[in-house]
Chains A and B, each alone.
Chain A
């Protein structure tokens, strides 16, 4: 658990609203090591989701640095940042964000297709399909491969989202209130799955949540207030 997978160093993030600049993150330092689970707690508007997005290279910091495996990555060109995002980080969101036109299997396979040409995919298509099926089996959806998101329950959708996030074998998993849209029973099942996979794969897991109980299951809890990590 010593190797740092993700790190934010003195990260600031400001948004411009007309002429006004609104600071959202104000000098945040945070490191998540491989195999470590970190819960990020805080009131709405504290900057949790913004920090998650900045850490996952979905958004650029206004100041400060983002490091993957100790290497600064926030200043890389767009294309390289996208490739790193694909290889290094998996995202799980509160609202699943599955593509409604695709079946569960296709949603998971899509992650395989992101960084590969049609020709290259054609060569590995059978293996990719087998991997996606195995991943869905791992999250307990072996019987729901050909179901569209609208035909799945909330818990099942989140399981598909988890399978999709893990498909590119990332080193870090960033989950933004993954159980926020689920009932407590379903949420417990999804959490169990998430922690189980994290342990199995030795992933760095950063979990944004309002749920104190869920936070207690993590190795570490970080609280944010007004864009600053509370000490």
Chain B
């Protein structure tokens, strides 16, 4: 009993121990808040990327492949709910007589590819595309003002020509309006009559049909949609039955990976030549793996840095505990005289370390969880009082600062902090145990 009693008395009568506790509290708090922020950010980015993607995309289909056979093979899978063909190309969009504005797009960074001039041009069949993605919803997003909203059937030719759908942010940056004429400049490889191929400039006169908006601003900034028939006629006139990519929606997302593996086998079976199968089936997560992993990697690095900060904080506790042992050596003698053992004396100081760490961990977790829950409010308060925006949510197309508090992570942080705290407390406790009680009793 004396160990706990003395430990508590020592702690309560020495305000300096609050320093050690504060160190642990701050490091635990930082670990909870920063990692929860990154986890939340990762979840949001994943949901944004997924919202702008089909569940599975079968790509790399060769020019000689037959779309009807590919589609039939994909639709044969019991988990496939919809299949849509996609033609892909690239180009630069400009207004006739206007100089193209300087990139990047407003609020965009290199993270979203906003500072490169090229666009991905997707040739889609609107009805089929609606089956596999949120295409219809992207056109009806409430953020799109009525004057930019697509009024007629999507990608239906206007009186002035074929239409193009442009991302809302790009529309705003370029000052585009529905019905504006735009020029899509691209290139095509054509035979030079000598057995080689040479790039030839191709320009398509288009009319802006309206804006679209997904949650993934990088996708919006870099993609325009045109009718698949238009792109096929203009760019791939010799391959009337070809689609380089098939977008697939599944019924049960829980078995997405298994479905992608089945689709991979199915497409290889139908797109086969000389014993080799062609085509690659990838889930939306696999297609964006590099981007998503880069965020997860940043989270890992932050974890590492913050754990090191926790170790540094533990050294602060080591310093205060060592100071306490130095001050209390005079008590070691009388404790021994009253029947204490070296191990018992060590336990007093170890208990001090455990109590400091325990209180620091509990306070850090509680503060971390509360800060995490009210992170957006904290951001606003900091911006209001200091003018500094700690997390500019516009950059990431977010409504509020994301935060995902994972109980397993809380348990890991608590476990790590307790382990470090206890480990660090051993040193002063061991020093106390080795102190000769007679030295204290003789007052030497």
- Residues of A that sit less than 8 Å from B by CB: 49, 53, 56, 58-59, 78-79, 82-83, 85-87, 91, 93, 95, 97-99, 101-102, 106, 110-111, 113-118, 120-121, 164, 168, 176
Query: Which of B5, B334, B337 touches A113 (beta carbons < 8 Å)?
Result: B5
Docked-complex contact A110 and B337, CB < 8 angstroms:
no
| A91 cross-chain contacts in B, Cβ below 8 A | 334, 337-338
Chain B: how many interface residues by the 8 Å CB criterion?
A: 28
The docked-state distance in angstroms from the alpha carbon of A85 to that of B334 is 12
Query: Which of B331, B338, B341, B440 touches A111 (beta carbons < 8 Å)?
Result: B338
Docked-complex contact A49 and B442, CB < 8 angstroms:
yes
Known A-B contacts A58-B336, A91-B337; the reply to A53 vs B331 at CB < 8 A is: no
Query: Which of B4, B330, B342 touches A97 (beta carbons < 8 Å)?
Result: B330
Known A-B contacts A85-B339, A114-B340; the reply to A99 vs B1 at CB < 8 A is: no
The docked-state distance in angstroms from the alpha carbon of A99 to that of B337 is 13
The docked-state distance in angstroms from the alpha carbon of A26 to that of B339 is 27
Docked-complex contact B339 and A168, CB < 8 angstroms:
yes
The docked-state distance in angstroms from the alpha carbon of A48 to that of B441 is 14
| A111 cross-chain contacts in B, Cβ below 8 A | 338
- Residues of B that sit less than 8 Å from A by CB: 1-2, 4-6, 9-10, 12-13, 330-331, 333-342, 344, 437-438, 440-443
**Chain A residue at minimal CB-CB distance from B2:** A113
A95 to chain B, nearest CB (A): 6
B110 to chain A, nearest CB (A): 60
**Chain B residue at minimal CB-CB distance from A116:** B1
**Chain B residue at minimal CB-CB distance from A96:** B334
| A114 cross-chain contacts in B, Cβ below 8 A | 1-2, 335, 338-340
The docked-state distance in angstroms from the alpha carbon of A114 to that of B9 is 15
Determine chain B's interface SS by DSSP, over half rule: helix
Docked-complex contact A78 and B441, CB < 8 angstroms:
no
Query: Which of B330, B331, B438 touches A58 (beta carbons < 8 Å)?
Result: B438
| A117 cross-chain contacts in B, Cβ below 8 A | 1
Query: Which of B12, B344, B440 touches A82 (beta carbons < 8 Å)?
Result: B344
B346 to chain A, nearest CB (A): 12
| B338 cross-chain contacts in A, Cβ below 8 A | 85-86, 91, 110-111, 114, 164, 168
For this complex, 23 residue pairs linking A to B, each with C-beta atoms less than 8 Å apart, are: A56-B337, A58-B337, A58-B437, A59-B438, A78-B342, A82-B336, A82-B344, A85-B337, A95-B443, A97-B337, A97-B440, A97-B441, A99-B6, A101-B6, A101-B10, A102-B9, A110-B6, A110-B338, A114-B1, A114-B2, A116-B1, A118-B1, A164-B338
The docked-state distance in angstroms from the alpha carbon of A79 to that of B343 is 9
**Chain A residue at minimal CB-CB distance from B441:** A93
The docked-state distance in angstroms from the alpha carbon of A113 to that of B9 is 14
Which has the most chain B C-beta neighbours within 10 Å: A87, A95, A120, A176? A95
Docked-complex contact A53 and B438, CB < 8 angstroms:
yes
**Chain B residue at minimal CB-CB distance from A122:** B1
**Chain A residue at minimal CB-CB distance from B10:** A101
The docked-state distance in angstroms from the alpha carbon of A66 to that of B335 is 21
Docked-complex contact A79 and B6, CB < 8 angstroms:
no
**Chain A residue at minimal CB-CB distance from B436:** A59
**Chain B residue at minimal CB-CB distance from A99:** B331
Docked-complex contact B337 and A79, CB < 8 angstroms:
no
Docked-complex contact B339 and A121, CB < 8 angstroms:
no
| B440 cross-chain contacts in A, Cβ below 8 A | 97
| B334 cross-chain contacts in A, Cβ below 8 A | 91, 93, 97-99
A90 to chain B, nearest CB (A): 9
**Chain B residue at minimal CB-CB distance from A174:** B337
| B330 cross-chain contacts in A, Cβ below 8 A | 97
The docked-state distance in angstroms from the alpha carbon of A51 to that of B1 is 30
Query: Which of A82, A93, A118 touches B339 (beta carbons < 8 Å)?
Result: A82
| B5 cross-chain contacts in A, Cβ below 8 A | 106, 110, 113
The 6 closest A-B pairs by CB, nearest first: A86-B339, A113-B1, A97-B334, A121-B1, A113-B2, A91-B337
Given contacts A82-B340, A168-B339, 20 further A-B contacts (CB under 8 A): A53-B441, A56-B337, A85-B336, A85-B338, A93-B337, A97-B333, A97-B440, A98-B334, A99-B334, A101-B13, A110-B338, A113-B1, A114-B339, A115-B339, A116-B1, A118-B1, A118-B4, A121-B1, A164-B338, A168-B338
**Chain B residue at minimal CB-CB distance from A50:** B438
**Chain A residue at minimal CB-CB distance from B11:** A101
| A83 cross-chain contacts in B, Cβ below 8 A | 339
| A58 cross-chain contacts in B, Cβ below 8 A | 336-337, 437-438, 441
